[in-house]
């Protein structure tokens, strides 16, 4: 990904010009401030800092875009969109940190047995602002689910292709880094295709 054009500041909401009967504000995804992870840290703190950095990176790729832009499948023939990625990572956060590490018995917010790809695909009536807020809320719940747990704590897979496998919390953090890094690469391409903005 080209780094020649650094990510510009998110655009501000647009309003109707002077003289209009009523100013119409167009919602755009809010700006995000990312914190660089420390270059030297304890293992647990380093893992959490890097996962947080990737969480912020995904939202940073959305900043300044309208709901329509966030829903746009910008790299045909792929059906990926930035909003779909946010919704997907909301479910991934819940799956690994809350349902596995935290042992919570929860449903997914978007997908189900009848529509397993609803997180990516069911976007026509999606509320982008609510979905971005749901992601932030899920991240806070993920932090709460792992608080006080040791990296060596082991949990059993609750389904999917790894049914019955045993994982420690360290593996879950590392897997989440892999998941975010892959999807943030997708987000790079999607954002550049939408409005030309690039940046790591």
What is the pLDDT at residue 4?
Answer: 38
166: phi then psi, degrees, rounded to nearest 5: -110, 135
Give the pLDDT score at 34. 95
Determine, yes or no, domain membership for 31: no
pLDDT digits (tens, 9 = 90+) for 10-35: 444 444 445 544 567 899 999 999 99
| Number of domains comprising the chain | 1
Q: How far apart are CA 196 and CA 200, in angstroms?
A: 13
**144 part of a folded domain:** yes
Q: What is the pLDDT of residue 164?
A: 74
CATH of the domain at 117: 1.20.120.450
Give the tens place of pLDDT for each residue, 142-196.
999 999 999 999 998 876 666 678 999 999 999 999 999 999 999 999 999 999 9
Looking at residue 45, what is its pLDDT? 97
* Residues in the chain, overall count: 200
Q: Decide if 138 is inside a domain.
A: yes
> Does any domain span residue 25?
no
Residue 12 belongs to some domain of the structure: no
Mean model confidence pLDDT for the chain: 90
Residue 120 has what pLDDT? 97
Give the mean model confidence (pLDDT) for residues 40-68: 98
β partners of residue 154: 168
Q: Which of 117, 110, 78 is nearest to 94 (CA)?
A: 110
pLDDT of residue 22: 52
pLDDT of residue 157: 86
38 vs 84: CA distance, rounded Å: 30
CA separation for the pair 55, 57 (Å, rounded):
5
The residue among 127, 94, 129, 125 whose CA lies nearest residue 109 is 94
Mean pLDDT within 69-75? 97
Residue 101 lies in a domain: yes
Judge whether 38 lies within some domain.
no
The reported pLDDT for the residue numbered 106 is 96
Structural domain of 110: 43-195
- Residues of the chain with pLDDT > 90: what percent? 82
Whether 40 shows a pLDDT value over 60: the answer reads yes
Closest CA relative to residue 176, chosen from 98, 118, 108: 98
Determine, yes or no, domain membership for 108.
yes
Please give the pLDDT value at position 16.
43
Asked if residue 200 has pLDDT above 90, the reply is no
What is the reported pLDDT for 113? 92
pLDDT score for 158: 76
Token pair 């892959």 is found at 182
Span 124-134, pLDDT tens digits: 999 999 999 99
């Amino acid at each position: 990904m080209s780094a020649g054009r650094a990510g510009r500041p998110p655009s501000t909401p647009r309003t109707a010009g002077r003289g209009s009967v009523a100013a119409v504000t167009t919602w755009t995804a809010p700006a995000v401030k990312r914190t660089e992870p420390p270059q030297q840290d304890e293992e647990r703190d380093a893992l959490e800092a890097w996962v947080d950095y990737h969480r912020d990176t995904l939202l940073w790729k959305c900043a300044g875009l309208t709901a329509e832009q966030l829903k746009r499948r910008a790299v045909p023939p792929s059906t990926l969109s930035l909003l779909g990625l946010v919704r997907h990572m909301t479910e991934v956060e819940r799956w690994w940190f809350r349902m596995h590490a935290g042992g919570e018995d929860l449903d997914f917010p978007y997908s189900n047995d009848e529509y397993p790809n609803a997180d990516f695909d069911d976007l026509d009536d999606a509320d982008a602002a609510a979905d971005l807020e749901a992601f932030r809320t899920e991240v806070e719940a993920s932090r709460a689910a792992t608080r006080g747990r040791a990296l060596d704590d082991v949990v059993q897979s609750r389904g999917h292709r790894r049914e019955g496998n045993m994982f420690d919390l360290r593996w879950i953090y590392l897997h989440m880094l892999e998941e975010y890094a892959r999807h943030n690469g997708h987000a790079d391409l999607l954002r550049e295709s939408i409005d030309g903005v690039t940046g790591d």
